[in-house]
Amino acid sequence: MTMGSSSGAPPSRTIEVTVISAEGLLVNRKRPVKNTVSVTVRTSPFHSGSTGVDPEGRSCPSWNERLVMELPAHTPFLTVEARAGSRVVGAASIPVTDFAGVHLPDGYLSFVSYRLRDASGEKNGIVNLSVRVRGGGSSSCAASCSRPWMGVAAAEGGAVVMGVPVSYTY
């Protein structure tokens, strides 16, 4: 993995994507996908990873398979493709800022679900993922994310009441 260069380029990061499951995948918008379903995750034309096929061959495939790859600096999107054999049945472009924004600490584990679309742009299923980005984390978050939450114990059982100041004009 390349961690930057002497030219001062931002360092690349490592991304861990666990492809958990998918649901509602159809072939030709008519019949459920039953077997040979896999998922490919691409961070760039040169960095990608793929799951194996769903071992059960179900219409709602599940993998729970972790893919680790490089996330080059300034990558705007991940591409996720669900495939039945060699055919792409659904794809999504996922903004990297959804799980690696300036308000998330380095290594934060995000659980996300995205709508997939077929080649004609029609809705075709949902993919469920967890994503963790390591390296090149945001230093702007470090101070605010490390502060303890403030609250007042509400009652027995450990519940906490949170208050957020809001300006109000009469």
Q: Are 82 and 56 in contact, with CB atoms under 8 Å apart?
A: no
Q: Which residue has the higher pLDDT, 106 or 136?
A: 106
Which pLDDT tens digit goes with each residue over 47-81? Answer: 999 999 987 777 789 999 999 999 998 899 999 99
Closest residue by Cα to residue 71 from 139, 132, 142: 132
Backbone phi, psi, residue 100, to 5°? -140, 35
Q: Residue 109 has which token pair?
A: 């584990």
- The domain locations on the chain are 13-143
Q: How many CB atoms lie within 10 A of CB 141?
A: 16
CATH of domain 13-143: 2.60.40.150
